Copies of this chain bind each other. A is one copy, B any other.
Amino acid sequence: MEREKIFEELTVKNEKKIVLLVMDGVGGIPYEGKTALEAAKTPNLDALAEKSSCGRTIPVLPGVTPGSGPAHFSLFGYDPIKYNVGRGILEALGIDVDVNEHEVVARGNFCTIDREGIVTDRRAGRIPTEKNKEIIKLLSENIKEIDGVKISLYSGKEHRFVIKLKHPELSEEISDADPQKEGLPLKFPEPLTNNPKAEFTANVITKFMKKAVVVLKDSHPANALLLRGFSEYPKIPPMQKIFKLNPAAIANYPMYRGLAKLVGMNVLDVGAEIDDEIITLKREWENYDFFYIHIKKTDSYGEDGNFNNKVKIIEKVDEILPEILNLKPDAIAITGDHSTPCKLSGHSWHPNPFLLYSPYIIKDDVRVFTERECAKGIYGNFYAVDILPLLLANTLKLKKYGA
């Protein structure tokens, strides 16, 4: 039987409340001897670790560095290999584009073509974002619909944008419209299956790309475009159905709000700072039984290789932790989605430090919330996809399996 079916059968609703606090990219590797968690002063996290069960979580597979999408699917209790969301969807979520059923989205690049139609620069000289917005406006005014398919365009940074098509007969089963290297002509998408929806979608995209070249004839260097990662809105059984939760997301970055929405979470209004997230949590505490709280900047500073600021964000989270605990969640887990070591200035494959506190855990010997100490915890290394079942168990939301 499939994992989701098992949990759908076992889960029961009760009043107990769960908090899943995710410090994005919090884990790391030593940088001048210490990880950011080891360098940070975290009396509250450490005190909670001391009375919790600890461990380290593997986002996807040992050695595999995940993007935010798969890393979060694991945290939400979904097999990240089975529920791998298309790149187009993730790009759209990242710039706060709302995606729904009957829509196909893709990532776009503005590019430069010469008079013979050969791509001479796949990124159109990385035009300024302001220029991008002008061009998107121009295209949007000139191309609103093709063959009944509504077309929407959204600016990203520099040469990047997102396209969204809306029509009940679309398919993601078409090839990328990207020659992949310079010196080749524009490439139009081709259907990858015999599905007539794929042929229809490929035709619409081809017409769109040709019209865009006409509209952009005076917009050099951004006088054409490439499209990649066509993605339908994914069909994911919501957390309400599989886990019988009434879940809420508190996240102030579009990507994470979007990922939470994909699994059915209620995405709450929240300000831009960590303090704003706590304000939202307190305001909405009575309305939900599961709160996913996302802290972005641990990852941002990891990506920047800014060790001192990563330490400061961890200390800020430590400072607000008592406010979360004062709400008396029945179970709380704290972890990352993936590690982002400053030494690598990017995501990594290292497991995430993890703690879980509830009245039903077995306290272990871990007294400090760090990568190395959590590795000695009672949970050892385990898969992040198992966090949600453990939280459900620790709030008595799972019936017995079999007799």
Contacts and interface: CB of A to CB of B under 8 A. Distances in A.
A10 B403 contact: no
A164 B391 CA distance: 40
B386 A375 contact: no
A65 interface: yes
Contacts of A341: 360
Interface stretch (A98-106, A189-197, A347-355): A347-355
B372 A403 contact: no
A379 interface: yes
A117 interface: no
Counting chain B CB atoms within 10 Å of each CB, the highest count among A29, A344, A362 belongs to A362
A402 B85 contact: yes
Interface SS of chain A: loop
A84 B364 contact: no
Contacts of A363: 30
Interface string A149-191: 0000000000000000000000000000000000000000000
A367 B39 CA distance: 23
A215 to B, nearest CB: 29
Given A347-B400, A375-B364, A65 B29 contact: no
Nearest to A56: B378
A376 B55 CA distance: 12
Nearest to A93: B403
A272 interface: no
Contact of A69 (B67, B362, B372, B403): B403
A392 interface: yes
Nearest to A86: B403
B380 A65 contact: no
A80 interface: yes
